[in-house]
Every structure is written in structure tokens, then in C-alpha cells.
């Protein structure tokens, strides 16, 4: 009987002395950065270019690009792409002459503005793409400056 009482006493002391173990940490909660909307506009004599970007991380998840050239067909379309360093590369999907077209566009970010990139293009899988993005020229005449976004 003494052995049983002694065993119970030792167990009780051990349980009382046992340190509380911290709760296991669950997976870390990472707050996602919200998507931001930015708008840009360029006016060249009687021509207007307007661009709206919805950016999340380094992706343009949604965007609009509008070319309104004086006395020419306007092109209105959507943008989806990626920002690599200081350059935005995107697919511009638009209607022209009653036909849907896709072409790659590039814009170089400089401060609060974007300069449109130009270069030799080739058709690949139904899309006009730059032949060599390293040879793009960014026209300082085609500047899209940050503008107020209109809902």
C-alpha cells in the first residue's frame, strides 16, 4: 500500500511541476497586398492615349488601353501582363476593323509616367509580338503621365 501511495504522490508532484507547453504555432498568416489601380494619359496634338492598370504584386491583372487617333479608327481594348523591373509587358486585346486582334505592348516606367516602346514585330500564334524586346525603343514623344482615375 505504501508503494501505491508513494507512486501516486510522485505522479502528482511530477504533474504539478510540469511546465506548461506553449501551443503549437499554426501556419503564418501572410497579408496579401491589395491590388492598386493606376491611370495614365497622353495627349499628342489631336491624338489621345489612355491607360488604366490594376496591379497586384508585379502583375497587371486587369487593364484598359485606348488609342484615339485623329481621323482614324480608335482602338479600345484590355491589357494583361507583367511588370519586369521598370518595364510593363502586356497583351493588348482589341477590336480593329471588326476583328479581334492581340499584340504585345511595352511601356517603360519613368517616375510617374510611362513611355511606349516600339520595335520590330512578328506574328506568332495569331498574336503580334516583339521580335526582340532588348531592341525596343521608348519614344519620349509618347509619354503617358499619371492621371486621375474616373469611375
Phi and psi for 15 in degrees, rounded to 5? -65, -40
Which residues are CB-neighbours of 75 under 8 A, at least 6 positions away?
A: 65, 66, 67, 94, 95, 96
Q: How confident is the model over 93-111, as pLDDT tens digits?
A: 998 778 899 999 999 999 9
Sign of CA dihedral 68, 108, 143, 124: negative
Q: How confident is the model over 101-145, as pLDDT tens digits?
A: 999 999 999 999 999 999 999 999 889 999 999 999 997 788 999
Task: Report DSSP state, residue 131.
Answer: S
Cβ 136 vs Cβ 106: under 8 Å = yes
Q: Where exactly are the structural domains of the chain?
A: 36-147
Which residues are CB-neighbours of 69 under 8 A, at least 6 positions away?
A: 47
Task: Out of 22-31, 73-82, 107-116, 135-144, pick the least confident.
Answer: 22-31
Supply the pLDDT for residue 141: 80
- Averaging pLDDT over each range in 16-20, 47-51, 140-144, which range is the top one? 47-51
- Average pLDDT over all residues of the chain: 83
Alpha helices, DSSP H, located in the chain? 2-17
pLDDT higher than threshold 50 for residue 14: no
Beta-strand ranges (E) seen in 69-132 are: 75-84, 87-96, 99-110, 113-118, 121-124, 127-130
Sign of CA dihedral 58, 59, 64, 68: positive
pLDDT higher than threshold 70 for residue 21: no
Percent of the chain with pLDDT over 90: 58
Supply the pLDDT for residue 123: 93
Label residue 27 by pLDDT band (50, 70, 90): low
Amino acid at each position: 500500500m505504501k508503494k501505491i501511495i508513494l507512486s501516486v504522490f510522485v505522479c502528482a508532484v511530477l504533474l504539478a511541476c510540469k511546465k506548461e507547453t506553449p501551443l503549437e504555432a499554426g501556419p503564418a498568416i501572410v497579408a496579401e497586398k491589395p491590388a492598386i489601380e493606376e491611370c495614365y494619359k497622353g495627349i499628342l496634338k489631336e491624338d489621345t492615349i489612355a491607360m488604366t492598370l490594376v496591379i497586384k504584386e508585379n502583375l497587371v491583372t486587369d487593364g484598359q488601353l485606348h488609342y484615339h487617333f485623329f481621323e482614324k479608327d480608335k482602338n479600345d481594348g484590355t491589357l494583361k501582363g507583367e511588370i519586369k523591373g521598370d518595364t510593363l509587358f502586356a497583351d493588348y486585346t482589341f477590336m480593329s476593323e471588326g476583328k479581334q486582334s492581340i499584340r504585345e505592348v511595352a511601356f517603360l516606367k519613368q517616375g510617374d509616367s510611362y513611355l511606349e516602346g516600339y520595335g520590330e514585330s512578328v506574328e506568332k500564334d495569331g498574336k503580334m509580338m516583339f521580335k526582340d524586346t532588348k531592341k525596343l525603343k521608348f519614344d519620349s514623344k509618347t509619354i503617358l503621365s499619371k492621371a486621375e482615375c474616373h469611375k
